[in-house]
């Protein structure tokens, strides 16, 4: 391992040690209990709201609730669903998938809470656009502006050096080069031009692209995965049993798999799960704040489904495909492992097509979604004058990120992700009573408490 990678791995182990894992899962566990298993009992309502999300242009907000969800999903459904699941299982064994499920289950309550708070404490910037997210509820709700600045700083770091660029561009360029033999540099330059063209239009342009691409890419990938699992239906029950058993016992070395302890399964599963669905990270609330919505609770419910779609459905599909086809115990890793699984389960041509197209769409939409997140964080830190420098650095990172080593990319992404989650989780814990109060008020048929919301919206 190179010296710099060795140092970063040590930092990563500290950041993603027991304290952060306990804070992440503990926050979700507490909110799950406090909200009465809302992610179970109110999931049907949440799904109903997704498909009848109010598009009334006269409601406060910049885009429809569905467009805001698609924007958040565009940033969350990315390489974590294809490469991240493979990386988790390669490190922690099949049991890592179980801990991804646990992180997602409790993460749904976390996602609900953070997106509820984003709408409640959102404000309007000098251009008349909605501005919200953890930096605002940390400042106006918790009264800790320095913590809001810390979150925004880490958010810029994730956009530039974590989820937003390095991991996505590397996955796209690697897949395109392997499938179509297109040089890496040409792929990076093309991505840079496309991202610049889309993101110049701000949230409305980004949300239009997300609304067009996200539903298609999810249906395409899930359909291909279900077809493969149907062709290997007899192996699916054993795969599920292996996932559960390995989650609590670890897994011995087999084939190209070096073995893993239960703790490694938990660590890799939770870390990759958070990387994939971003529950507790604080990113989705930035998109939720832009939604045209009359209720912070309804937007929280709509946003909560993002974690369900991302991890409970898509990551599960990938994980089962990897286990059923047996490639998890081979020598391949990352996107190549997932590619090999689909080749073995379908055919070489169809396997290449599914993974390449999936990576292209998943990763590209993540890039544009995180460009918006990073831009809003930079605006909070430096005002509108900071947006152009951020965009230029973001584009530069796209061009250069494909030349970094894959292991280094994932370690760096893990570090900045973890650092971003800490202030957000502190905010959720500090404002837990607000979340509970608004939830109780909504389901009792009372209107939202708009003492904070309405003065800001009246400026529009």
- Tens of pLDDT along 235-266? 999 999 999 999 998 787 776 677 778 888 88
Instruction: Calculate the alpha carbon distances from 315 to 102, 261, 270, 318, 322 in Å.
Output: 12, 21, 12, 5, 11
Q: What is the pLDDT of residues 320-368, one digit of tens each?
A: 999 999 888 888 877 788 889 999 888 888 888 888 888 888 888 888 8
How much is the pLDDT for 92?
87
> What is the dihedral angle through the alpha carbons of 54, 61, 419, 405, rounded to the nearest 10 degrees?
80
Cα–Cα distance, 143 to 367 (Å, whole number): 32
More confident residue, 191 or 170: 191
Which structure tokens are listed for 215?
């539903």
Q: What is the pLDDT of residues 275-310, one digit of tens each?
A: 778 888 898 999 889 888 888 999 999 999 999 999
Q: What is the pLDDT of residues 32-74, one digit of tens each?
A: 999 999 999 999 999 998 877 555 555 665 577 777 788 778 7
Q: How distant is the alpha carbon of residue 273 from its chain centre?
A: 8
Judged by DSSP in three states, 129 sits in coil
Cα–Cα distance, 227 to 236 (Å, whole number): 12
pTM of the model: 0.88
In sequence order, the 6+-apart residues with CB closer than 8 A to the CB of 111 are 277, 279, 280, 284, 300, 303, 304, 306, 307
Mean pLDDT of the chain: 85
Instruction: Calculate the alpha carbon distances from 87 to 94, 151, 155, 333, 365 in Å.
Output: 11, 27, 23, 7, 21
Contact in structure between 252 and 258 (CB atoms under 8 Å) = no
299 closest CA partner among 454, 121, 90? 121
Question: Looking at 44-151, which runs of residues are DSSP E strands?
Answer: 63-64, 123-124, 130-131
Judged by DSSP in three states, 59 sits in coil
Contact in structure between 131 and 380 (CB atoms under 8 Å) = yes
How much is the pLDDT for 380?
94
The sign of the torsion formed by the CA atoms of 38, 134, 288, 156 equals negative
How much is the pLDDT for 214?
85
Q: For residue 54, how many other CB atoms are within 10 A of its CB?
A: 17
More confident residue, 199 or 427: 427
How much is the pLDDT for 442?
93
């Amino acid at each position: 391992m190179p010296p710099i990678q060795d140092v970063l791995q040590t930092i990563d182990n500290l950041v993603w040690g027991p304290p952060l894992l306990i804070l992440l899962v503990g926050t979700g566990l507490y909110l799950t209990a406090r909200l009465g298993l809302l992610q179970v009992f109110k999931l049907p309502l949440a799904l109903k709201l997704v498909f009848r999300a109010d598009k009334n242009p006269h409601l406060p907000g910049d885009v429809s609730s569905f467009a805001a969800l698609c924007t958040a999903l565009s940033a969350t459904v990315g390489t974590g669903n294809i490469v991240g699941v493979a990386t988790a299982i390669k490190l922690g064994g099949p049991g890592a998938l179980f801990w991804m499920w646990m992180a997602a289950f409790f993460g749904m309550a976390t996602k609900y809470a953070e997106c509820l708070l984003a709408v409640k404490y959102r404000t309007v910037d000098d251009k008349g656009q909605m501005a919200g997210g953890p930096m605002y509820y940390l400042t106006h709700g918790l009264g800790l502006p320095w913590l809001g600045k810390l979150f925004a700083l880490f958010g810029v770091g994730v956009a530039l050096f974590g989820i937003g660029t390095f991991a996505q561009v590397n996955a796209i360029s690697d897949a395109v080069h392997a499938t179509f033999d297109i040089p890496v540099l040409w792929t990076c330059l093309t991505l840079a031009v496309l991202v610049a063209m889309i993101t110049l239009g701000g949230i409305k342009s980004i949300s239009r692209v997300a609304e067009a691409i996200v539903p298609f890419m999810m249906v395409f990938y899930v359909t291909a995965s279900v077809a493969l699992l149907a062709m290997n239906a007899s192996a699916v029950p054993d795969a599920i049993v292996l996932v559960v058993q390995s989650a609590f016992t670890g897994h011995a070395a087999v084939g190209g798999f070096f073995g893993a302890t239960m703790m490694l399964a938990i660590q890799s599963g939770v870390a990759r799960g958070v990387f994939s669905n971003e529950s507790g990270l604080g990113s989705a609330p930035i998109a939720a704040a832009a939604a045209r919505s009359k209720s912070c609770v309804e937007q929280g419910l709509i946003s909560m489904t993002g974690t369900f779609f991302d991890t409970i459905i898509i990551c599960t599909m990938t994980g089962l495909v990897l286990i059923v086809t047996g490639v998890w115990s081979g020598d391949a890793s990352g996107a190549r492992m997932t590619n090999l699984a689909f080749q073995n389960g379908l055919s070489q041509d169809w396997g290449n097509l599914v993974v390449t197209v999936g990576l292209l769409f998943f990763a590209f939409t993540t890039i544009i979604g995180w460009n918006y997140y990073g831009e809003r964080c930079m605006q909070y830190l430096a005002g509108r004058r900071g947006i152009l420098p951020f965009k230029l650095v973001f584009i530069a990172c796209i061009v250069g990120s494909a030349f970094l080593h894959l292991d280094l990319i994932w370690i760096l992404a893990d570090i900045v992700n973890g650092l971003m989650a800490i202030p957000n989780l502190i905010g959720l814990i500090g404002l837990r009573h607000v979340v509970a109060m608004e939830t109780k008020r909504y389901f009792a048929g009372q209107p939202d408490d708009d003492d904070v919301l309405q003065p800001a919206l009246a400026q529009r």
